[in-house]
Each structure stands twice: as C-alpha cells, then as structure tokens.
Amino acid sequence: MTRPKIDPPHMGEPYLLTPGPLTTAYSVKQAMLRDWGSWDSDFRAMTAELRKRLLEMCGDSGGALDCVPMQGSGTFAVEAMLGMIPRDARVLVLANGAYGQRIAQTLRYLGRDMQVIDKGDYMPPRGDEVAAALAADPALSDVVVVHCETSSGILNPIEEIAEAVRAAGCRLWIDSMSAFGALPLEFDRIEYEGFVSSANKCIEGVPGFGFVIARKSALERARGNSHSLALDVHAQWEYMNRTGQWRFTPPTHVVAAFLRALELHAAEGGVAGRGARYARNRDVMVAGMRELGFETLLDARWLSPIIVTFFNPAHPAFDFTRFYDLMKARGFIIYPGKLTVVDSFRIGCIGQMDEDVMRKVVKAAAAALAEMGVDDAAPPEAALKERARLAA
Amino acid sequence: MTRPKIDPPHMGEPYLLTPGPLTTAYSVKQAMLRDWGSWDSDFRAMTAELRKRLLEMCGDSGGALDCVPMQGSGTFAVEAMLGMIPRDARVLVLANGAYGQRIAQTLRYLGRDMQVIDKGDYMPPRGDEVAAALAADPALSDVVVVHCETSSGILNPIEEIAEAVRAAGCRLWIDSMSAFGALPLEFDRIEYEGFVSSANKCIEGVPGFGFVIARKSALERARGNSHSLALDVHAQWEYMNRTGQWRFTPPTHVVAAFLRALELHAAEGGVAGRGARYARNRDVMVAGMRELGFETLLDARWLSPIIVTFFNPAHPAFDFTRFYDLMKARGFIIYPGKLTVVDSFRIGCIGQMDEDVMRKVVKAAAAALAEMGVDDAAPPEAALKERARLAA
C-alpha cells in the first residue's frame, strides 16, 4: 500500500502535536476562502452531505442512527448529548481522567442523579466492574464513558464496557471526541444509545462544531428534555430534518473546511486508513522517544494512537517549560501533562503528520535535551513504580 | 473624507445581503490559512487582543466592563448572558419580532419568572411603556431588549428604554447582536448590565463565536448561577482571566479572522465609520428600490442601517421564490421576510459592500422584475394600511 500523502504546514507555523486543534491540510483551510449564506440551498446541501458522510462511518447497516451537528466546541456537543438523558435517569459515569470528570460535572449542572466510578488518572474502567456496579444498583439506567481519555492517552476498553451495559439492559453514551474517525465505533458491533465527537479531531477539520450521533429513537425521546435552548439536540434535529438548515447560525466556513476534511478522510481509506497512519505515527514516535530514555506512562496494550503521555525525565537539568519552548523553536508544539501523581507531558499523533514528521519530532526532542544538558531522559523511580502499579 | 475601500468577493460567490453570515473581506478569510494551538502563548495573546479591542469600542471610561467571548452562534451567547440573570429575578422581556420571542423562549428553558411586552412584528417598545410596566409590577428586576430587531429591521429606541429601566432601579440586558460595531452603545451614555453580540455581524468576521460584555460586578455575581457548564459566562470569565485561555476549545481560525476584521473596523473609523457606510448603503438602496415602486415596511425614523424590510409587490406576476433565484443568479442573495401579517422580503446593508454595490443590487432587482413581467413593484393596499397603522 502506498503511504497517504500528507500536507506540511504552508504558513511557517509549528506542527500541533496535541489532541486538537491540530495541524490540518492546507486545502482544508483553503475551503474557508469563501462566504456562504447559511439558509441558501447551496449550504443546505453541504449540511446534508456532512450528515450523510458521518453516518456512513458508523457501520449502522440498519439505519437506526441519525447525525445532529451542534455549534461550539466538543464540550458543547457533550453537554448537548447529556441533555438527551431522561431527567429521571440514574447515570453511571466511568471516569479515568479530566474528560470523565467533566462529564460528571456537566451532569451536576443538569441535575441528573449520578454515580461515578473514578479510576483515578489513567486506570481503565473494565467490563466486569461495570457489570458489578450495574448489578449492585438496579436504579442505574444510563452509562457514560470516554472512548479515548486524552488526559493520559488511554484507550478505554469500549467493547467490553458496551457488552456489560447491554447485558444489564442499560443505555450507553460515549464521548468519542478524540477517537471517532480513527478508531472503529461500529454500531453493528457495539451497542450504544449515542456518541459525540467534533470537527477538529480525527477527521482533521478546524474547530467550531461537534456532532451527536444517536439512535433515532433516542432523538425522538429527547423532545422537551433539554435544559438549554441552544444545546437542545432534539430541537436541532427536528429543525434540520424539516428545513435542511441549522437552527441557529452555523460556522459556515468551518463546515466548508470539514467537508474537504471528509474527502481527505475517505481518500485515505476512511477509519481504517486514518487509524493505521496514526498507529504508525505512535509506533515510530514512541520507539524513538524510548531510545532517548523516555518512558510512556501506559503499558503498550492501553496506548492509544491519539496521544501518548511520557514521564518527565528525572535528570535535574530537565525543565518542562524550557523543553516546550525548545520544541516550539524547532517547529513542534507539544502538550503539558494532566496527571496528579507524577510529572508528565504529552505528544499527539493526530493531524496532518506521518512517520517522517514523527522522526523529526524525536530528533527535535534529542536536540532539546542536549541543549538543556540532559544526557538521560529516564523517569524517576516513583514514576516507574506508578507504572508497575498500573500493570498489576 | 475618502470612501473606505471595500473588498469584493474573490471566489465568485454571491454577495450576502443578509444580517449575517455576511460577505467578509478576503483578508479576513485569508487569516484562517494557518492552524493555532489554543493553549499556546501566541494564541493567548490573540484572545487578549480581541477582548481589549472589543472593550475599547464600548465607551466605558471608568473600566466597569469586561468582555467574555463564548463559542457557538450568537444565540449561544444570548443564552449564556441570560444565564447570568439571578435565578430569583423577575424579568421583563420587550419583544417586537423573532429575536425578542427567542429571548422569552430561552428564559422559559431557564425557568426564569417573566413578563413579556409583545409589540407584534415591528412596533417599537417605547420608554413610557417600559416605565409604566415597571411601575405596575415592582417585582420586576431585569429588562431584556433587542437593539436592532432584524425580523423587521427596526432600530429600537434603546436610549429611552435604558433611561426608563435606570429610573426604576432595574437592570438592563441588551441583545445587540446585529447592531454593535455599527451603532453606538456607549456605556458612559447608556446604562446597562450587559449586552451580547457576535463575530459575524457588524464587525464583519466569520461565524463561530459571540461575546458577552458586562459589568464586572454582574460577572462576579453570576458565579454558580448558570444552568449550563458550556455556557457558564462566569466560569469562562474567571478561567480566561486566570489562564489567558478559553475554557474549552475555541474556534481558532474564526478568532484569527476576527482579529483581522477588527483591524479593518478600526481602519474604517471604528463604530462611527462603519455605521456611516452602512447608513449610506441603506439610503442608496432604499432610494433605488423606491424608484422601482417598492415600499419599506417601516417609517424612515425606525429604519435601521442593518437590514430593510420591503413589502412584496401586489403585481400578480411577482413570486418571491423566483425573485430570490433571479437575484441569486445576478450575484445577490437576499433574505425572506419574517412578518406574520403581510408578505415581505429583506435586504441587508451590512458586510463588505458599499453604495456602488447597492446600486448594482437595485439594478439586479429591476432586471429580475422585468424578467418576471412585473412592471410595478407597489405593495398591496393592505400593506400600506398596515404601515399607516404603525405610523399612527
């Protein structure tokens, strides 16, 4: 197979090695060079195309799902989806990082009755735990989980969780923000009530809207359920189906960019092709960083192809802020860590980047270490103990 | 004074003669040709610049106000602002069109106690009416009004309303979505608690975010008051002041475009210069349309320089859908009417357009009428009676 052509930054900007906003193809940005009337038939056709293409990526042979784009950042779309959960539901939130915590926080704003299984910074919630929790509390009706928790970069075991939820007769809602488009989430294989993702993640659009993909039955049932006019998914769905328009002004340029991003996604081989490039990015980058002495937080089996957490080196000359600036000066913007127990940083694998770029990232890291006088990037003992605890 | 240079569409797209999304300068769109890391210092500086420049347009010599950008369409920002109104408030909504109605609808989602003065499609709410309503019901604490109601294009008498609200010791909240940036809203002259506008209106950016500008005291008081995590203005304000970042992923490209739009706005002479161009657009366009026989819904004193409503001609050969298509084929997208009583359409005066463009709009309308076989664009008698009722 020929390697997909990727598109380097054209305007001298650094690569964004982050979970989004990310480095996008130049042609995606060029699609924003014209203005669209949001009520005009041309733009309505673009909205219809966007919804159709996203649904085609869901592996839903029965046509049970529908797609509802929602203005704002991904968090807006998550809140909109959570507003579909019946007001009298009791919700189980599976948290292992900032995004799981945010779901719980949102449900508190919405006044939903809730139980949280908090696995800490990066331990995966497992199917048997979920089954046990649902068995212990039969009032639980809905479960919410993060697909890839970018706080640590962990890929949560979504299939075994979905199976436990299905077996208990509950509904599953998935925050697949940073996974959909690169990791399979096929409705024919994984039962869910709905999930959410956004324009500026694995489909490599620019930020400005997200989308809820949910069972039509769930969309019907959500009528009158939302706490918010703007974030009312049922109202947006009903209006969009009736008029072809977004209920309120859409980010027209961002939508045009997304359509171009969807074309590039399809040309790369869809979810499988995109996922393969990201996995190769991760493998090449992690191997190179390990050669420098860096260690990943997670065991290989939990490493997502989205973003990878590395322990900060123990060496006294290592300073993350300086490392960040040295990497930025070399054209790479990395991401700070988000762990509470040990110091860490993150490097993303998604966006318009391939393994050649990832080799340059490793080279830049080597040069930055040299400039700081760090001759060994090995983590402190405490970090390795933490990892051993995880592996156990 | 030399006329400001305007920038015709570069990509062969039609002019958008609407209240937004509108025709923007090419350099505004070109600013979207690079990717930004939303947590990086470069982008944080852009966010700070945006807030500073917007505040400078508010005529707030005492520094009482602060600016909180909010992701999503303008309606998202309106809902976010309404979420600042204390939960135990009793709110007077002044409605004369779809946007006033939407405010009332949003407050119903939010569970606020409310009274609505509904003036119908386009009658202005007057200061003495507001004073009487506030005197009759001392429990009323907050008043919400639309600055320019684009349903009809009416410019509501914001100064006399503000004076009535101030005299009654109440708080005023303004939806200045389609007015701010072209019509004065000076805090030193008009007392208000807060107002809201968006990127893609008179500042001529592209759609993707709005902003709340409010007294710092109101922002402080709004802590814990919001019904929504994503739309929590206090939380966004507090986080942005502390970190320089948006709380959730901002539409980075839209923000970059907006900074360029702000530069162009300043170069045109700020609010006064922008307002003067729009007023000239309106005057030239309305005069030309009147020559064709068209009549405006509103009396001259209520005509905003934002968008103008015309009655559909009485001539039996006139068909709005065909007129729309014929105008679009000539490069101009117009806007359907939104009145319940009589048939109408609207033509916007805002965006990268000047009087030369407006003359071409009139020519296109003349050609469209000729092609339809409409030799007189005069409205039906009923429409003129409706206008007489308004003037009385």
Please enumerate in sequence order all residues whose Cβ is within 8 A of that of A28, keeping only pairs 6 or more positions apart, or say none: A204, A205, A206, A257, A260, A261, A264
pLDDT at B390 over 80: no
Is the CB of B75 less than 8 angstroms away from the CB of A208? no
pLDDT at B63 over 90: yes
Per-residue pLDDT reduced to its tens digit, B227-271: 999 999 999 999 999 999 999 999 999 999 999 999 999 999 999
State residue B2's pLDDT score.
Answer: 59
pLDDT band for A391, please (50, 70, 90 cuts): low
**Two tokens at A269?**
């081989």
Q: Please tell me if residue A35 touches chain B, with a CB cutoff of 8 Å.
A: yes
Please enumerate in sequence order all residues whose Cβ is within 8 A of that of B378, keeping only pairs 6 or more positions apart, or say none: B293, B294, B295, B313, B314, B315
In angstroms, the CA B378 to CA B312 distance is 8
State residue A203's pLDDT score.
Answer: 98
Mean of pLDDT values over A201-207:
98
pLDDT at A1 over 60: no
Most distant CA pair in chain A, distance: 63
Of A274-283, B130-139, B333-342, B355-364, which range is least confident?
B333-342
Q: CB atoms < 10 A from the CB of A198, how many?
A: 30
Is the CB of A35 less than 8 angstroms away from the CB of B26? no
Per-residue pLDDT reduced to its tens digit, A289-325: 999 999 999 988 899 999 999 999 999 999 999 999 9
- A269 conformational bin, left if phi > 0, alpha if psi -120 to 50, beta if neither: left
pTM of the entire predicted model: 0.97
Per-residue pLDDT reduced to its tens digit, A160-187: 999 999 999 999 999 999 999 999 999 9
pLDDT at B1 over 60: no
In angstroms, the CA A143 to CA A163 distance is 12
Name the residue among B339, B106, B39, B286 with its Cα closest to residue A247.
B106
- Are A154 and A122 in contact by the 8 Å Cβ rule? The answer is yes
A-contacting residues in B 188-207 (Cβ below 8 Å):
198, 200, 206-207
Is the CB of B253 less than 8 angstroms away from the CB of A22? no
State residue A7's pLDDT score.
Answer: 81
Q: Please, where in chain A does CATH 3.90.1150.10 lie?
A: 15-21+269-391
pLDDT at B174 over 60: yes
A-B contacts (CB, under 8 Å): 200
Please enumerate in sequence order all residues whose Cβ is within 8 A of that of B104, keeping only pairs 6 or more positions apart, or say none: B93, B95, B114, B116
Q: Please tell me if residue B225 touches chain A, with a CB cutoff of 8 Å.
A: no
Q: Please tell me if residue A333 touches chain B, with a CB cutoff of 8 Å.
A: yes
State residue A2's pLDDT score.
Answer: 59
Instruction: Look up the CATH superfamily of B15-21+269-391.
Output: Aspartate Aminotransferase, domain 1 (3.90.1150.10)
pLDDT at B11 over 80: no
Name the residue among B223, B254, B259 with its Cα closest to residue B241.
B223
Give the one of B11, B20, B249 whose C-beta lies nearest to A200's C-beta.
Answer: B249
**Two tokens at A26?**
């130049």
- Average pLDDT over chain A, rounded to whole? 95
Q: Which residues pair with A70 in a beta bridge?
A: A210
The structure tokens 């503000």 sit at B162
Residues of chain A contacting B16 with CB distance shorter than 8 Å: 35-37
Strands B90-95 and B142-146 turn out to be parallel
CATH topology of domain A28-266: Aspartate Aminotransferase; domain 2 (3.40.640)
- B10 conformational bin, left if phi > 0, alpha if psi -120 to 50, beta if neither: alpha
State residue B307's pLDDT score.
Answer: 96
Q: Please, where in chain A does CATH 3.40.640.10 lie?
A: 28-266
CA distances from residue B257 to A39, B25, B30, B176, B296 in whole angstroms, order as listed: 22, 10, 8, 21, 34
State residue B121's pLDDT score.
Answer: 84
- Are A85 and A105 in contact by the 8 Å Cβ rule? The answer is no
ipTM over 0.85: yes
Mean of pLDDT values over B333-348:
88
Q: How far is B389 from chain A (nearest CA, A)?
A: 32
Per-residue pLDDT reduced to its tens digit, B279-289: 999 999 999 99
**Two tokens at B69?**
């950008």
Q: CB atoms < 10 A from the CB of A216, how many?
A: 12
Q: Please tell me if residue B250 touches chain A, with a CB cutoff of 8 Å.
A: yes
> Residue B93 carries which side chain, given as an amino acid letter?
V
Q: Please tell me if residue B29 touches chain A, with a CB cutoff of 8 Å.
A: yes
State residue B391's pLDDT score.
Answer: 67
Element spanning B322, H or E:
helix B320-329
Side by side, which strands form the sheet with B344-348? B307-311, B344-348, B335-336
Per-residue pLDDT reduced to its tens digit, A46-97: 999 999 999 999 999 999 999 999 999 999 999 999 999 999 999 999 999 9
Classify B18 as helix, strand or coil: coil
Is the CB of B252 less than 8 angstroms away from the CB of A34? no
In angstroms, the CA B297 to CA B385 distance is 11
**Two tokens at A124?**
């995966």
A-contacting residues in B 80-139 (Cβ below 8 Å):
102, 105-106, 109
